[in-house]
């Protein structure tokens, strides 16, 4: 059975070109880039090149790039650094729909005595900018807002939010893990102080991340060890991973416009097809500006895990904001924050595409998904053939 | 992804008895869309009190669909008296186990069955008794107490797995902890008279005959008491149980639990092979 992979916001395939760039650095050029000899120096040169490739994609300077192990480490480092360098301030501003790498840390910090304000979103997932404006206070140490949401693809106006923070001399961090490589980012003339990237979301391997720290931003390292990354992140570099990420960033910069136009067309075809073939469905966040690859679709009166498992029988991989998938008993905090009703939230599926998806795959999904929903609805006590929901269902 | 037994997968992919029953004379409805799972159980009971047909409709995950399918299969051909003895653990055993986070799906089945049997007898569906402890999922203290007693639960996480209570905002965790402590301390206070070995063996035999064997035989299995050494109850499985991959679970979760409950709380059931 072939696999149709539509779960690219979870992780992506390592590009063949990225893999090829990395392979010699496992066994042929295995020197430590910190070593004084030529053998290590060759690797150090490749790291410099990778740093430039990452910086180019972001419109940043190479010295503003810190390599980390993942997006979560970048997020944690940024938030903890801000609090250490702004010791007298005890307030953090974030949103209700952040990734757990930010959200869980903020909840932890709240228990440690920090005040955390979570800005709400509207029913399309857009950030409430009025609430955001009034949340910024003299005591605010940091704003941390995601650039694009991992579940819905909804894009936040982070540049505008960062400017508002800067006017008040507040540090601004953005978790751009889902945005980098999918939409243009230019930090050269930006108010953003710190930005997180994860390699495996843009066709580089797992285990490599980046924290961008703007020149002049006060910084306190999270991992204290050797002098690597100019003392800002100790630990011997994941050289192959860094080289892979450099290549992935170079490819993303070259292909972004062309590939994302194609990916968006496939995503739109998938959405239009499902909406026309399956009644009582809705695209979450459709009214907002979104990433070109992400579609979060709710199927009313059926449960997400059951949909996922039946799709899996056909080799279709996606993910769900349903409670039953995660082991938590509440459906996705993102969908609940958007006010998506329970009738919809439990049956939500996230399809996230990549440059490797084809039109034939989308046609296959459009052939298989409608009967799956029909089958599950035939068991559902809330579904009536004419599409009327029972009142007790809500 | 969850680890499901082959039986759960089979019942999820090809549910038995799914759909609406027009002429049901016993209907039980539990759960809600907000809670994430709901079940409507429909039975056709003949004039002799025997269940001729059982169907279900469910909104829920793979475990909820499989539990409902299994329950309807278990119910067909049973008398009302036999049906009312079915516990959530029986549904779990029938399915060869459920992930611990999904035990509430089997509890939903048992609740729907209770409602259906009340409906058959013309009794009103019992209003939710007790006080709501978990606001997120509307679970009462009495429901939590019952789950603790029936399934020997000892942690908040276990209570959540079986009842959903505490699975939302977590604001009720302290109350759940208090209920666990209260129920478990009551259990400790129950003093039983000492049994002689002969009395113990006799009670074990009677319990197997009356409470355990009929359930196993319904599924084509059986059990034989081989010996009792102190608190060790040595048994041999027979019929379908002898070849069932889940027989270990049946012995621990059903046989041992029944014997502990009805004979002596420290009994340990062990399977012996000849």
Q: Is the dihedral of CA A224, A229, A231, A237 positive or negative?
A: positive
Percent of chain B with pLDDT over 90: 36
Q: What is the pLDDT of residue B162?
A: 85
Q: What is the pLDDT of residue A325?
A: 60
Q: Residue A385 pairs with which residues in a beta bridge?
A: none
Predicted structure pTM score: 0.81
Question: What's the rounded mean pLDDT across residues A202-220?
Answer: 97
Burial A163-201 (b: 16+ CB within 10 A, else e): ebbbeeebbbbbbbbbbbbbbebebeebbbbbbbbbbbb
Contact B148, B183 (CB under 8 A): yes
pLDDT at residue A43 is higher than 70: yes
Rounded distance between C-alpha atoms, residue A303 and residue A277, angstroms: 18
User: Residue B105 catalytic?
Assistant: yes
More confident residue, A243 or B32: A243
Closest Cβ opposite residue B60 in set A303, A342, A393: A303
∠ CA B39-B45-B47, rounded to 5°: 165
Interchain CB distance below 8 Å, A380 and B101: no
Split at pLDDT 50, 70, 90, the class of B129 is confident
For residue range B244-274, list pLDDT tens digits in order: 777 888 888 889 988 988 888 889 999 887 5
Minimal CA separation from B137 to chain A, in Å: 9
Lowest mean pLDDT among A205-209, A249-253, A358-362, B59-63: B59-63
Cβ partners under 8 Å of residue A373, min gap 6: A278, A281, A299, A302, A307
Q: Which of A305, A318, A342 is most worth mutating to test chain B (most B CB atoms within 10 A of its CB)?
A: A305
| Max mean pLDDT range (A33-42, A153-162, B19-28) | A153-162
Mean pLDDT, all residues of chain B:
87
Q: What is the pLDDT of residue A55?
A: 98
User: Residue B35 catalytic?
Assistant: yes
Q: Which ipTM value was assigned to this complex?
A: 0.85
Distances B187 to A138, A213, B9, B266 between C-alpha atoms, Å: 56, 59, 37, 13
Contact B180, B153 (CB under 8 A): yes
Split at pLDDT 50, 70, 90, the class of A390 is very low
Residue A323 tokens, joined = 């409670």
Give the closest residue to B203 by CA, choosing from B262, B137, B267, B143. Answer: B262
Rounded distance between C-alpha atoms, residue B198 and residue B207, angstroms: 14
Q: Which of A300, A316, A329 is most worth mutating to test chain B (most B CB atoms within 10 A of its CB)?
A: A329
Contact A220, A85 (CB under 8 A): yes
- Residues of chain A in contact with residue B98, where contact means CB-CB under 8 angstroms, are none
Mean pLDDT, all residues of chain A:
94
Q: What is the pLDDT of residue A75?
A: 98
Length of chain B counted residue by residue = 274
Contact B164, B35 (CB under 8 A): yes
Give the closest residue to A118 by CA, choosing from A95, A91, A140. Answer: A95
DSSP string covering A56-121 = HHHT--GGGEEEESSHHHHHHHHHHHHHHHTTT--EEEEETT--HHHHHHHHHHHHTT-EEEEE-B
- Residues of chain B in contact with residue A382, where contact means CB-CB under 8 angstroms, are 33, 38, 59
pLDDT at residue A391 is higher than 50: no
∠ CA A282-A288-A290, rounded to 5°: 90
Q: What is the pLDDT of residue B188?
A: 64
A–B CB contacts, 8 A cutoff, strictly below: 86
Q: What is the pLDDT of residue B126?
A: 65
pLDDT at residue B125 is higher than 80: no
pLDDT at residue B97 is higher than 50: yes
DSSP state of A117: E
Rounded distance between C-alpha atoms, residue B195 and residue B198, angstroms: 8
Question: Considering A70, A317, A324, A390, which one is annotated as catalytic?
Answer: A324
- Nearest-10 Cα torsion for A202, A208, A214, A215: -130
Minimal CA separation from B60 to chain A, in Å: 5
Minimal CA separation from A332 to chain B, in Å: 12
Give the closest residue to B241 by CA, choosing from B207, B269, B268. Answer: B269
Rounded distance between C-alpha atoms, residue A243 and residue A381, angstroms: 54
For residue range A59-112, list pLDDT tens digits in order: 999 999 999 999 999 999 999 999 999 999 999 999 999 999 999 999 999 999
Split at pLDDT 50, 70, 90, the class of A176 is very high
Question: What's the rounded mean pLDDT across residues A218-226?
Answer: 93
CB atoms within 10 A of CB B43: 27
Contact A124, A287 (CB under 8 A): yes
Q: What is the pLDDT of residue A327?
A: 61
Split at pLDDT 50, 70, 90, the class of A394 is very low
User: What is the chain A residue with the closest CA to B59?
Assistant: A380
CB atoms within 10 A of CB A143: 30
- Residues of chain A in contact with residue B60, where contact means CB-CB under 8 angstroms, are 303, 306, 324
Closest Cβ opposite residue B59 in set A301, A312, A328: A301
pLDDT at residue A392 is higher than 50: no
Minimal CA separation from B22 to chain A, in Å: 13
Q: What is the pLDDT of residue A219?
A: 96
Rounded distance between C-alpha atoms, residue A131 and residue A112, angstroms: 24
Interchain CB distance below 8 Å, A379 and B12: no
- Residues of chain B in contact with residue A301, where contact means CB-CB under 8 angstroms, are 33, 59
pLDDT at residue A393 is higher than 90: no
pLDDT at residue B87 is higher than 80: yes
């Amino acid at each position: 059975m072939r696999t149709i992979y539509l779960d690219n916001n979870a992780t992506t395939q390592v590009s063949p070109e990225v893999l090829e760039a990395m392979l010699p650095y496992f066994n042929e050029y295995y020197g430590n880039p910190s070593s004084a000899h030529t053998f290590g120096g060759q690797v150090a040169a490749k790291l410099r090149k990778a740093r430039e490739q990452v910086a180019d994609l972001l419109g940043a300077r190479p010295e503003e790039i810190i390599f980390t192990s993942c997006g979560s480490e970048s997020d944690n480092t940024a938030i903890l650094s801000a609090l250490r360098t702004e010791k007298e301030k005890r307030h953090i501003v974030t949103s209700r729909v952040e990734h757990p790498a930010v959200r869980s840390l903020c909840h932890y910090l709240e228990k440690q005595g920090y005040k955390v304000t979570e800005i709400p979103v509207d029913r399309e997932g857009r950030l409430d900018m009025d609430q955001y404006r009034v949340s910024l206070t003299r005591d605010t140490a940091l704003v941390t807002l995601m650039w694009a949401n991992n579940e819905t693809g909804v894009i936040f106006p982070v540049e505008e939010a960062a400017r508002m923070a800067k006017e008040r001399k507040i540090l601004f961090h953005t978790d751009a893990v889902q945005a980098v490589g999918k939409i243009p980012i230019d930090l050269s003339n930006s108010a953003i102080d710190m930005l997180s990237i994860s390699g495996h979301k843009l066709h580089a391997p797992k285990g490599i991340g980046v924290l961008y720290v703007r020149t002049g931003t006060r910084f306190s390292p999270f991992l204290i060890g050797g002098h690597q990354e100019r003392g800002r992140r100790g630990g011997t570099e994941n050289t192959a991973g860094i080289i892979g990420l450099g290549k992935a960033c170079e490819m993303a910069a070259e292909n972004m416009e062309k590939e994302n136009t194609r990916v968006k067309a496939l995503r739109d075809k998938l959405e239009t097809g499902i909406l026309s073939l399956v009644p009582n469905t809705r695209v979450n966040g459709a009214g907002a500006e979104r990433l070109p690859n992400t579609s979060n679709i709710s199927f009313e009166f059926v449960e997400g895990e059951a949909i996922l498992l039946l799709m899996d029988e056909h080799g279709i991989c996606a993910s769900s904001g349903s409670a039953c998938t995660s082991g938590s008993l509440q459906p996705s905090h993102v969908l609940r924050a958007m006010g998506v009703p329970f009738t919809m939230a439990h049956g939500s599926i996230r399809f996230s595409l990549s440059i490797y998806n084809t039109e034939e795959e989308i046609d296959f999904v459009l052939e298989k998904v409608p009967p799956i929903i029909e089958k599950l609805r035939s068991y559902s006590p809330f579904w009536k053939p004419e599409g009327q929901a029972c009142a007790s269902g809500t | 992804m969850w680890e499901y037994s082959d039986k759960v997968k089979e019942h999820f992919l090809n549910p038995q008895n799914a759909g609406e029953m027009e002429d049901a004379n016993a209907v039980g409805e539990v759960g809600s869309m907000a809670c994430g799972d709901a079940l409507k159980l429909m039975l056709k009971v003949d004039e002799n009190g025997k269940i001729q047909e059982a169907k279900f409709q469910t909104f829920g995950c793979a475990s909820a669909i499989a539990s409902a399918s299994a329950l309807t299969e278990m119910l067909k051909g049973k008398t009302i008296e036999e049906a009312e003895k079915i516990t959530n653990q029986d549904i779990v055993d029938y399915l060869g186990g459920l992930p611990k986070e999904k035990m509430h799906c089997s509890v939903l089945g048992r609740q729907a069955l209770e409602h259906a049997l009340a409906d058959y007898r013309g009794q009103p569906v019992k209003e939710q008794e007790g006080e709501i402890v978990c606001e997120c999922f509307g679970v009462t203290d009495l429901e939590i107490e019952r789950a603790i007693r029936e399934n020997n639960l000892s942690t908040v996480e276990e209570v959540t797995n079986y009842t959903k209570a505490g699975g939302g905002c977590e604001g009720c965790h302290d109350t759940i902890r208090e209920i666990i402590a209260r129920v478990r301390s009551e259990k400790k206070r129950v003093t039983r008279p000492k049994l002689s070995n002969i009395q113990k063996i006799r009670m074990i035999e009677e319990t197997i005959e009356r409470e355990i064997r009929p359930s196993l035989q319904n599924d084509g299995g059986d059990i034989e008491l081989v010996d009792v050494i102190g608190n060790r109850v040595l048994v041999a499985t027979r019929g379908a149980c002898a070849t069932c991959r889940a027989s270990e679970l049946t012995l621990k979760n059903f046989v041992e639990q029944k014997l502990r409950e009805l004979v002596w709380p420290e009994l340990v059931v062990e399977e012996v092979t000849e």
